[in-house]
Amino acid sequence: MTYDRLVCANCAAPVSEGRCPVCRANRERLQQTGGMFAQLSPAMLVTLMLLMIALGLLLHQVT
């Protein structure tokens, strides 16, 4: 999940703006927990998944 769409329950502002200490702490936590696919959009992840399925089917037919 990206923090640019989250709203802080403490100050009711977007977390990405970091207006209060809670926002800043959560923004920092979300930035640190990002993995290899954290920056990819859901559409890109679905596209990658479909490409991998197609590649798997192609390799299955070849062997």
pLDDT at 57: 95
pLDDT at 3: 59
N-term to C-term CA, the chain: 39
CB atoms within 10 A of CB 26: 19
Dihedral in degrees, nearest 10, Cα atoms 9, 5, 40, 35: -10
pLDDT at 56: 95
The predicted model scores a pTM of 0.46
Q: What is the pLDDT of residues 1-54, one digit of tens each?
A: 455 678 888 898 888 888 899 888 888 887 776 666 667 788 888 999 999 999
φ/ψ (deg, to 5) at 54: -60, -40
Give the residue from 9, 51, 42 showing the smallest Cα distance to 26.
9
